[in-house]
C-alpha cells in the first residue's frame, strides 16, 4: 500500500499508519494429520454443504432449547 494511502486510511480509522503496513505474523506450523484422519477429512469436505451441516449438528453437544430458539 502506498504510504499516502496508508496515512489517509490510518487517519480515517484512528490508527497509527505504521500498524497498517506491519507484516502479518505467519501462522504456526501444525503437525500433519495422520493418513487415515486426512482421508476422513477429505471425504467430509466432498459432502454437499447441507450434509456437512447435518453431520456437524449430529456430532456437537445438543443445544439447549434457548440456544435452538436463537438459531432460528
Residue 68 lies in a domain: no
Q: How many domains does the chain have?
A: 1
Query: Which residue range(s) make up the domain with 51?
Result: 33-60
| Helical segments of 14-64, H only | 17-20, 35-46, 49-59
Q: How far is CA 2 from CA 6, 22, 45, in A?
A: 6, 13, 39
Residue 70 has pLDDT above 70, yes or no: no
Residue 47 is given by DSSP the state S
- pLDDT tens digits, one per residue of 1-44: 788 888 888 888 887 877 777 777 766 767 888 899 889 889 98
Residue 22 lies in a domain: no
Residue 43 lies in a domain: yes
Residue 56 lies in a domain: yes
pTM: 0.41
Amino acid at each position: 500500500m502506498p504510504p499516502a494511502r496508508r496515512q489517509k486510511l490510518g487517519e480515517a480509522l484512528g490508527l497509527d499508519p505504521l500498524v497498517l503496513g506491519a507484516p502479518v505474523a505467519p501462522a504456526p506450523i501444525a503437525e500433519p494429520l495422520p493418513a487415515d484422519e486426512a482421508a476422513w477429512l477429505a471425504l467430509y469436505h466432498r459432502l454437499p454443504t447441507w450434509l456437512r451441516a447435518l453431520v456437524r449438528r449430529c456430532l456437537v453437544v445438543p443445544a439447549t432449547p434457548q440456544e435452538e430458539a436463537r438459531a432460528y
